[in-house]
Structure 1
Amino acid sequence: MQVEMKGITKAFGENKVLKGVDFSLHSGEVHALMGENGAGKSTLMNILTGLHKKDSGEVLINNEERVYANPKEAEENGVSFIHQEMITWPDMTVLENMFMGKEIRNKLGWVQRREMEKKAESVFSELGIDISFDRTMKTLSVGQQQLIEIAKTLLNDAEVIIMDEPTAALTDREIRTLFKIIRQLQKKGVALVYISHRMEEIFEISDRVTVMRDGVSISTKATKDTSYDEIVRHMVGRDLEDYYPEMDNSQGEAVLEVRNLTHHPDYEDISFTLHSGEILGFSGLMGAGRTEIMRGIFGIDKIDSGDIYLDGEKIDIRTPNDAVKRGMGFLTEDRKSEGLILDFSVRDNVSMTAFEEFSKGGWINKKEEEEFVDLLIKRLTVKTAHMELPVGALSGGNQQKVVLAKWIGAGSRVLILDEPTRGVDVGAKREIYNLMKELAERGVGIIMVSSDLPEVIGVSNRVLVIHEGTISGELKREELSEERIMTLAVTPNNL
């Protein structure tokens, strides 16, 4: 299938998202679509699949103008979109998820399970997937769920598959499996649009790269004919020198102490100290227990045993509210369900942790609240038409900035950041790193959980590596390297 989009424009009210975008896709190619958060990448693909209607421009499918009425019609015609936030029915089986709304039935309306299994088996065999049809989706890893989504597209004889940040939550092994399947699909003539902020993946898997900036397509090149620096320059409109800021190793007194924290079976005997002005990195393989440890510290999940000290005082944190009252903040890995109220405005989300700053006697000073929120929006360069816009309407990276703004506005003294730059573009990453440095210089103690090893090395003053729920090692800044971190990540701490 050949796809060509010419001069596509789209506005949501006063917000002009696309201002004349050109994009093409050839059979059997992987075409990377890159740009900062809010550049319009997802909107462009949502127009292709019929979720949004273009304001102007042309969409040509095999040289004929075509506009799909909705994503279902696009799927029926071979164009599928695998979104970053996958939509699954967690308590239903793999087979039920694959055929949801498309069940094979006989003349009497009875579901023909065996026929469905045969069709699914054929696709699984083609992709090399070995997952029981009877397993419920909630028992699968994110990577396995991703494979099921790909298999679903092939049930519809997909000729175009759009993948939005497909590796954001995958392990290295799952990424390798995904790339193997992508190459198999290419050989069949399937065309893929690959939306990602991970530069190393773009150069490994794509044939061409289109860069968007502020709703305009800036450039399209063969991947082999471009470079990391050129793509970054096109994305942000400038060169990004010193990608990671120079970190200051000077630190203050211990602000947070964790002693023998245990919650079976996730983690055991976790002890460490965080100093004011320090960025303490937590690294390890996915599933090692890093996030679970942070949830225990913040009171989201109960702990079995262990003690937590703040400024030398033993404290009892049973709920997140207890942690917030003590001056702690937590940017969670799952910003949509745990970090934001998507239907609320940007203003409400930013100010919800800091009402005491602009309220007296239970009454909120609206003017002071708006000034407070406006200051944080500008400081974090949140791209939004206005602060009353629902936060769910923002791009993923800008939603991440709103969560950060919420905790900065709360005046947190200890800030836990779990995957703070996941799904965030290269320019916004640099802004977040600079903000972390600025907060540390003000004396905030920061814990950063990250699966991005260059990020861990570039930003942390010190790194603790987690292996199967225990601390397998500690590395000072001058000792940091990817090899040392990975060795500790796969090695029990008693070896």
Structure 2
Amino acid sequence: MVQAVVELQGVSKAFGPVQALSDVSLSLVPGQVNCLAGENGAGKSTLIRVLTGALRRDSGSYEIEGHPVTAPTPASVRAAGVQAVYQELSLLPHLSVAENLFMGRLPSRTGIIARNRLRTRARQALDEVGLTDLSPDAIVERLPAATRQLVEIAKVLTADSVKVIVFDEPTTALTEAESARLLEHILRLRERGIAMLYVTHRLEEMFEIGDWVTVLRDGSLSETGPISNYDEDRLITAMVGREISSLYPETHRHAGTPALRVRGLRRFEGSPSIDLHVGAGEILGIGGLLGSGRSGLLLSVFGAAPVVAGELEVDGKPVKPSGPRAMMNAGVGLLTEDRKVLGLLPELSIRENVTIASLRSGSRRGLLPGREQVEEADRLLDSLRLRAGSYDQPVSTLSGGNQQKVLLARWLLTKPKVLMFDEPTKGIDVGAKGELYTVIGDLAAKGLGIIVVSSYLPELLGLADRILVLRDGAVAGELPGSATEEDVLRLASGSGGAEVPAAEDATATPAASDGTASVSGEVRAPGRTTPPTPDDPGGGSRDA
């Protein structure tokens, strides 16, 4: 039997009255990919932090290559050969790629950085992860999110004596092609005898590269064993403690008159003209490959990125997208892809994050929320089944799925007519996904016009009544919700094939609304703006 390079036995960790981990054991074996599975809040992040020395365990043992680790620190654990690629990147944005790759280990001569040697070593590291076209001199903050993720992985692989690598949601910001390349690289690392702990919410990735699976539920070890003993249904049951027969709500929606209509929208000079509409009570999906302009389109419609031409109507009334406040007042909301950077205010409480977008209309002098506003915010959080000890606790203490519910409650408090979701389930576990899909379906049933951008095709096809496919910033075609993944990819890639006919512009009577469905706007931290990219003078997102 192969000796484990890392062994945790009976590890427990509590934060005050909250028991984050309870008697959890974990073994990482050379040449094996151990997939760590569990819902948000199951204890995965806490276990990773204990493993990497960022948290001191309360009880239990920790060994690396048979040697006890009594007081681990991040530096001592890294020196022992345990490296980590986190979901939150650790790159220094104003430095070059090469400088980031070898920070703290920069090659030098008589105290001066040896630039040629640095570039040569950086070139080798970038080539190893497939970034053959990326210059070592490129500044990190100018790179798209997907490229930054691969640079982070290359940085870890340059460390001396790598025995263990922890991958925490490494493919979240990557395209399917980039994800496939990364998974292939992980398999090569396995052949080199490196032990890996792989954390992802994408079950298909676990079955593609995993050898072993460790399942946490409510801070305890639920199950562990060879992944060959599992199928998707059994794994989900182990994670959530119940069977999930269908993630996507079964509904029969009928679109009403257009809640939002966009005509001739051009984001910048020379960009293609875009037309779209979404009816009241309808879910419109927007698909396309990375860089097709999906996220940038939502930002422009919301007024967060400039446009040079085009007309917008909300509920039949013309609206000028002069800024997010104007669109919010017109009844349009946007949940952005990056909830932590562009959505949440982490130091504020849950309740403050919900009410902050409605202060102008629901508070005295726009400073503090009124009592009725607070009570309505609490009712919305209750209806979304937010898991929290108190609505006064910092929003940063919540899991990803619950943070998304906070943003949704914020928008619901502003009572919109149209709600746009950009990658709504990014970083959210399978159980929370099902809850969010149900909420989205319920909002459409109450008469909201819903737009969903998603790079995960099963999600797009499972939710949408119609799908608009973008390619190179233009509308490549429109498909019905009954289309296949192949239909979407054919249009997105321009590989040919007949377009599947979509439903005609709906003009039926609007779906009934009880007036309670509403959404609350995402607020940027003071002074924070979305940085422009070379290809997108309007700024925005990884998919702009």
5+ long unaligned stretches in structure 1: none
> Quick check: 355-364 or 427-436, which moved more?
355-364
Deviation at 1:129, TM superposition (A): 4.3
Question: Structure 1 residue aligned with 2:212, among 208, 218, 222?
Answer: 208
Please name the residue that 1:313 is paired with: 317
Match of 2:113 among 97, 111, 114: 111
Does the 8 Å contact 2:253/2:445 carry over to 1? no
* Cα pair 2:359 2:369 within 8 Å, conserved: no
Whole-angstrom distance in 2 between the partners of 1:143 and 1:60: 34
Q: What does residue 302 of structure 1 align with?
A: 306
* Closer/same/farther in 2, CA of residues 362 and 475 from structure 1, 3 Å limit: closer
Which of the numbers 331, 345, 351 marks the counterpart of 1:347? 351
- Residue among 450, 458, 462 paired with 1:454: 458
Instruction: Give the deviation of 1:475 after TM superposition.
Output: 1.2
Q: 2:330 corresponds to which residue?
A: 326
After the TM superposition, which residues 446-485 of structure 1 pair with which residues of structure 2 at under 5 Å, given as runs?
446-478=450-482, 480-485=483-488
Cα distance in 2, alignment partners of residues 196 and 407 from structure 1: 28
Report the counterpart of residue 65 of structure 1 in structure 2. 68
In the alignment, residue 158 of structure 2 is paired with which amino acid? L
Q: Which runs of 4+ in 1 moved over 6 A?
A: 492-495
SS across alignment from 1:45: helix
Of residues 188-197 and 135-144 in structure 1, the stretch that sits farther from structure 2 once superposed is 135-144
Q: Which runs of 5+ in 2 are unaligned?
A: 499-544
Matched, 1:337 2:341: yes
Quote the residue 2:237 is aligned against. 233
Work out the CA distance in 1 between the residues paired with 2:318 and 2:130: 53
Question: Secondary structure of 2:318's match?
Answer: strand
Counterpart pick for 1:374 among 363, 375, 378: 378
Aligned: 1:85 with 2:64:
no
Aligned to 1:140: 143
2:241 partner amino acid: G
TM-score (norm 2): 0.86
Can you list the C-alpha shifts for 1:456-491, whole angstroms capped at 9, x where unaligned?
11111111111111111111233x111111111112
Q: Which deviates further from its counterpart, 64-73 or 244-253?
A: 64-73
Task: Give the superposition deviation at 1:267.
Answer: 4.7
Report the Cα offset of residue 146 of structure 1: 2.5
Instruction: State the match for 2:516 in structure 1.
Output: none
Write out per-residue CA displacement over residues 250-307 of structure 1, whole angstroms, 9 at most, x where no aligned residue: 1222111100100136952111111111111001111100111110010001101000
The structure-2 alpha-carbon separation of the partners of 1:116 and 1:160, relative to structure 1 and needing over 3 Å to count, comes to same
Q: Which amino acid aligns with 2:404?
A: Q
| Structure-2 separation of matches of 1:289 and 1:165 | 24
How many angstroms apart in 2 are the aligned matches of 1:377 and 1:225? 38
Following superposition, the deviation at residue 340 of structure 1 comes to 1.0
- How is 1:108-257 mapped onto 2 (pairs within 5 angstroms)? 108-124=110-126, 126-127=128-129, 129-130=131-132, 131-157=134-160, 158-257=162-261
1:428 to 428, 432, 449: 432
Q: Does 1:413 align with 2:401?
A: no
- The amino acid across from 1:349 in the alignment is N
CA deviation after TM superposition for structure 1 residue 113, in Å: 3.0
Matches of 1:263 and 1:171, distance apart in 2 = 23
Q: CA deviation at 1:14?
A: 2.5
- Say which SS state the counterpart of residue 84 (structure 1) adopts: coil
User: Quick one: structure 1 residues 126 and 329, their matched pair in 2 at CA, closer, same or farther if it must change by over 3 Å?
Assistant: closer
In structure 2, relative to structure 1, the CA distance for the partners of 1:14 and 1:376 (3 Å cut) is: farther
Q: CA deviation at 1:163?
A: 1.0
Distance 2:270 2:411 in 1: 27
SS at match of 1:6: strand
Contact 1:79 1:160 in 2 (8 A): yes
* Match in the other structure for 1:291: 295
Residue 119 to residue 77, structure 1, CA distance change in 2 (3 Å): farther
Deviation at 1:420, TM superposition (A): 0.3
* Matched AA of 1:80: Q
Instruction: State whether residues 358 and 369 of structure 1, in contact with CA within 8 Å, keep that contact through their aligned partners in structure 2.
Output: yes
* Greater Cα offset, 349-358 or 42-51: 349-358
RMSD between aligned alpha carbons?
2.2
Q: Counterpart of 1:308 in structure 2: which amino acid?
A: L
Secondary structure in 1 aligned to 2:42?
Answer: coil
CA deviations on 1:394-429 (whole Å, 9 max, x unpaired) are 222222221112112221211000000111111101
Q: Deviations over 1:126-166 (max 9, x none)?
A: 55542321122234343332232222222223211111111
Match of 1:385 in 2: 389
* 1:76 alignment partner in structure 2: 79
Indicate the percent of aligned positions where both proteins have the same amino acid.
39
Distance 1:61 1:291, change over 3 A: same
Shift of 1:121: 4.5
2:307 aligned partner, one-letter code: I
Task: Give the aligned partner of residue 277 of structure 2.
Answer: 273
C-alpha distance in structure 2 between counterparts of 1:75 and 1:461, whole Å: 49
Are residues 493 and 336 of structure 1, via their aligned partners in 2, closer, same or farther at CA, if it must alter by over 3 Å?
A: farther
| CA distance in structure 2 between the partners assigned to 1:285 and 1:69 by the alignment | 42
Please say if residues 50 and 67 of structure 1, whose CA atoms lie closer than 8 Å, have aligned partners that are also in contact: no
Alpha-carbon distance between aligned partners in 2 of 1:307 and 1:272, rounded to the nearest angstrom:
11
Contact kept, 8 Å, 1:267 with 1:289, in 2: the verdict is no
The answer for the alignment partner of 1:49 in structure 2 is 52
Q: 1 CA distance for matches of 2:362 and 2:322?
A: 28
